[in-house]
Amino acid sequence: MTQNDKHNEDTTHFGYQTVSKEEKAGKVAEVFHSVAGKYDVMNDLMSFGVHRLWKRYTIERAAARPGQKILDIAGGTGDLTAKFSKIVGSEGQVTLADINDSMIKVGRSKLVDSGVVGNVDFVQANAESLPFPDNYFDRITIAFGLRNVTDKDKALRSMYRILKPGGRLLVLEFSKPILPLLSKAYDIYSFSLLPAMGKVVANDSESYKYLAESIRMHPDQETLKGMMSDAGFDEVEYTNLTGGVVALHIGKKF
């Protein structure tokens, strides 16, 4: 291995910056500690509420059933967890996992206040080394979280390991707009309006500048499809939503 190869192996992207893998983990943690309290408000403002439709579509494609075990990785404030909790019922179990304790605290409070209790667990966990048995979950979701993971390939392999045969992984994430005009408009929105909105609403323009940059650095639709296949998933497919601003990737385990 050359010195350059070793450098590439030990570094990754934090937005447009090249940083060590350890440094990225710390910087991402700082971002989400900062935005946790305003996360839901900013999601609505950033997407004009459309994130709710994207998540609803993800729930539909998950096709979860009563009694199943669901893992919601990077579950944050619990939007998907709340929906899955109703679907799987008292015989099922939903685990909300997030690496950030501030996000878990906000999510737990929100779900408890909404009466979502009894079949939901909260686990602080790193997606790259998920602390669950092999072949354990029927469905695994990660919504708007994969782009913040330091080693995405390692995380996908970890998800594959704990997914039951017959189960499916659903990755909902910002992607690459497929229409040139939409792409240009989205760039203007992401790099000008989004940080300004973060400054006004959350008093934090830098965190939202990172979020915009992280979207641009995330693998495009075909690249992520290949990464999921390489991790072992079968019949990987994706659906572009809102012109490719977001894509839902689905992989199965046979």
98 among the known binding-site residues? yes
CA distance 190 to 186: 6
240 among the known binding-site residues? no
The candidate with the shortest Cα–Cα distance to 228, out of 160, 177, 127, 175, is 160
Residues 6+ apart with CB under 8 A from 178: 240, 243, 244
Determine which helix (DSSP H) or strand (DSSP E) holds 18, and give its type and residue range: strand 17-20
77 among the known binding-site residues? yes
Residues 6+ apart with CB under 8 A from 80: 55, 58, 59, 72, 141, 143
Q: Are 61 and 251 in contact (CB under 8 A)?
A: no
**What's the DSSP call for residue 49?**
T
Helix ranges restricted to H, the chain: 3-10, 21-35, 39-47, 51-62, 79-88, 101-113, 152-162, 180-188, 194-202, 205-217, 221-230
11 among the known binding-site residues? no
CA distance 65 to 141: 15
Buried b (16+ CB within 10 A) or exposed e, 195-215: bebbeeebebeebbbbbbbbb
Query: Which residues pair with residue 234 across a beta bridge?
Result: 252
Residues in the annotated binding site: 77, 98, 126-127
Residues in the annotated binding site for S-adenosyl-L-methionine: 77, 98, 126-127
